[in-house]
């Protein structure tokens, strides 16, 4: 009888251990699958933040024009600086996505503002 109780207890412990291992593997798999979605969301939020910061900096520090250090827009400098960590964060795709989104958005905003300041002639849409 005692052996039977010991065998049942051992069986319960083994099953509990297997259940916990399966649950842990399932959690790790779900986190790995959601990593891509999280990276996209973080990249989008980073891009939005850079856009708002660039607009605010140009309005306040640049008095409505591009804020520049010499001939170089500060937003372009910040965008290039934000892009650099992407080359060193390959093991961290979420951080890499944030860096790429923030950096390219900064460069895009600076380029757009430059083209607007250069006075591109307005066109008419082809209909």
Whole-angstrom distance, CA of residue 69 vs CA of residue 50: 18
Alpha-helical regions (H) of the chain: 2-60, 74-83, 93-117
Please indicate whether residue 121 or residue 38 has the higher confidence score (pLDDT). Answer: 38
pLDDT band at 127 (very low <50, low <70, confident <90, very high): low
Please write the tens of the pLDDT for every residue from 15-46. Answer: 888 999 999 999 888 888 888 889 999 999 99
Q: Is 117 in contact with 73 (CB distance < 8 Å)? A: no
pTM of the model: 0.70
CA distances from 3 to 11, 13, 28 (A): 12, 15, 37
Q: Are strands 68-69 and 72-73 parallel, antiparallel or unpaired?
A: antiparallel
């Amino acid at each position: 009888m005692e052996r039977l109780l010991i065998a049942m207890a051992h069986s319960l412990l083994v099953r509990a251990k297997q259940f916990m291992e399966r649950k842990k593997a399932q959690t790790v798999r779900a986190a790995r699958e959601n990593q891509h979605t999280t990276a996209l969301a973080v990249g989008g939020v980073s891009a939005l933040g850079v856009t708002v910061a660039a607009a605010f900096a140009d309005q306040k520090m640049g008095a409505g024009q591009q804020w520049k250090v010499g001939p170089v827009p500060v937003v372009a400098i910040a965008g290039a600086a934000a892009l650099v960590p992407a080359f060193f964060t390959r093991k961290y795709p979420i951080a890499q996505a944030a860096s790429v989104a923030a950096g390219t958005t900064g460069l895009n905003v600076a380029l757009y503002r430059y083209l607007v300041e250069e006075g591109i002639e307005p066109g008419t849409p082809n209909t």
